[in-house]
Amino acid sequence: HALDHDLRGALEANEFHLVFQPQVRLDTTELTGFEALLRWKHPTRGLVSPAEFIPIAEENGLIVPIGEWVLRTACSSAASWPDMTIAVNLSPVQFRSRGLVAMVTSALAEAGLPPQRLELEVTETALLDDSEATIEILHQLRGLGVRVSLDDFGVGYSSLSYLRKFPFDRIKIDRSFVGTLGESPESVAIVRTIASLGSVLGVETTAEGVETIEQLDFVRECGCTTVQGYYFGRPCPAAEVGRTIETLN
């Protein structure tokens, strides 16, 4: 794969950057923090979507150093913001690499970021294989004081059993459900049910991909606690975070 070859030099060549998407509380419409999302500016192809290059980086193992760069960069950016959380995605492959907990500890220390301000997003594919070992690492991460959320909830296989195996701080409802609320009674029922599940379990629920006022009103009425989506803001470069904070507060 051509991208495989090009990815190998991308970190060194400084071709990655992060963008940050706001997350907003539904009861007060206060900004609670941002999710860091990775972008790769390829020298000839231009922006390549993470949906395209992350699977390749997972395959060739580069996701480990790239993921470390993401975490360190995100923590150091967030350290200069007001008291808000920074959410960072972790690949399942990073859980299988040695030294994840030590790396997170060091990233927090180096950035001077209090652990409570870091939230790690894990998809259930991370928990699929070797789940005992992964759950143990999640407990160690939680032991550092960081928050842990279950990302893309509802699109995998046995989501519900993971809620019993580990006390996640947050469930992020996959944007495919929110995006189809207008045409799918199934999506309506699923979003309602996940929001109630979160409220019964005492776990925060974030509705992802909220783009319209109708979707916003619906997920609020369902009892979701936070939203993330184009309605409140697209992912923006670090330099624009300050303005986003001013606009939303």
Q: How far is the CB of 235 from Mn ion (least distance, A)?
A: 11
Amino acid at 122: V
Give the residue at shortest CB distance from Na ion: 152
Contacts of 115 (CB under 8 A, 6+ apart): 108, 144, 145, 146
Which residue lies nearer to ligand G by CB, 200 or 248?
A: 248
Which residue lies nearer to Na ion by CB, 10 or 91?
A: 91
Instruction: Give the residue, chosen from 235, 238, 241, 244, that forms a contact with ligand G under the rule CB under 6 A.
Output: 235
129-166 b/e (C-beta count within 10 Å ≥ 16 → b): eebeebeebbeebbeeebbbbbbbbbebeebeebbeeb
Q: Is 47 in the site for ligand G (CB under 6 A)?
A: no
Q: Helix H segments across 120-248? A: 125-128, 131-144, 159-165, 175-178, 185-201, 213-222, 238-248
* Cα–Cα distance measured from residue 66 to residue 185, given in angstroms and rounded to the nearest whole number: 40
Instruction: Give the residue, chosen from 6, 68, 119, 121, that forms a contact with Mn ion under the rule CB under 5 A.
Output: 121
Q: How far is the CB of 100 from ligand G (least distance, A)?
A: 13
**Stretch near Mn ion under the rule CB under 5 A, chosen from 43-51, 73-81, 118-126, 140-148:** 118-126
Q: How far is the CB of 71 from ligand G (least distance, A)?
A: 8
Q: Is 124 in the site for ligand G (CB under 6 A)?
A: no
* Cα–Cα distance measured from residue 130 to residue 134, given in angstroms and rounded to the nearest whole number: 6
Which residue lies nearer to ligand G by CB, 200 or 213?
A: 213
* Cα–Cα distance measured from residue 186 to residue 179, given in angstroms and rounded to the nearest whole number: 12
Residues near ligand G (CB under 6 A), total: 23
Q: Is 233 in the site for ligand G (CB under 6 A)?
A: no
* Cα–Cα distance measured from residue 143 to residue 62, given in angstroms and rounded to the nearest whole number: 27
Instruction: Give the residue, chosen from 152, 154, 195, 216, that forms a contact with Na ion under the rule CB under 5 A.
Output: 152
* Cα–Cα distance measured from residue 29 to residue 13, given in angstroms and rounded to the nearest whole number: 39
Residues forming contacts to ligand G in the complex (CB under 6 A) are 21, 37-38, 49-51, 54, 67, 70, 89, 91, 121, 151-152, 175, 208-211, 228-230, 235
